[in-house]
Structure 1
Amino acid sequence: MRRRILGVLLTAPITFPLMLTGCGSGPGKQTAAGAPPSADAQDKALKFAPCMRDNGVESYSDPEGSMMRITQEAAEDPDLKSGEEKCQKESAAASPGGS
């Protein structure tokens, strides 16, 4: 029993920091796969936010990199769903190949 406790105490300072290394990236800096966001994704995100505001969701915030953040106010806006549908269609139409 003492050896087990001693083993845990000796390995904890090494294993705990290693477990936390996956949590070190900031928002919008990398995708889930660990690669930086593509310029295309950033461009689409930058165009999507103003489109949402133009379609009635005034509180829709600008993206951080390619990451979109929806505030509580924007989420409760009655125009959110129709704005998303319209802006997604416009984004798809502007993309090469239409998707």
Structure 2
Amino acid sequence: MEWLCFRLDMLSSLTFSFSLVFLISIPTGVIDSNLAGLAVTYGLNLNTLQAWVIWTLCNLENKIISVERILQYASFPSEPPLVIESNQPEQSWPSRREVDIHDL
């Protein structure tokens, strides 16, 4: 994430620099000064907009992974009950208060 943000920041800074050099080097009257100022203003916000989009996409990816995990956990079979009534020993067992290996 940091690597991507740094690279995109450098790319947008270079693009903004070339745009400024282009706007300064063209002859007067070719481009309206109002449009040139608007382009510079939007260029300043380019880094912030790119960082916001990347951050939003990464957060969206994390949230989708969370939903996938919830769906995986929901599909696990439930555990059997703690006490199974059909496998209970008789009430009289053990009758001598000791357990013999043959009783099992």
TM-score when normalising by structure 1: 0.29
Task: Report which of the two has the higher share of helix.
Answer: 2
Higher gyration radius (CA) = 2
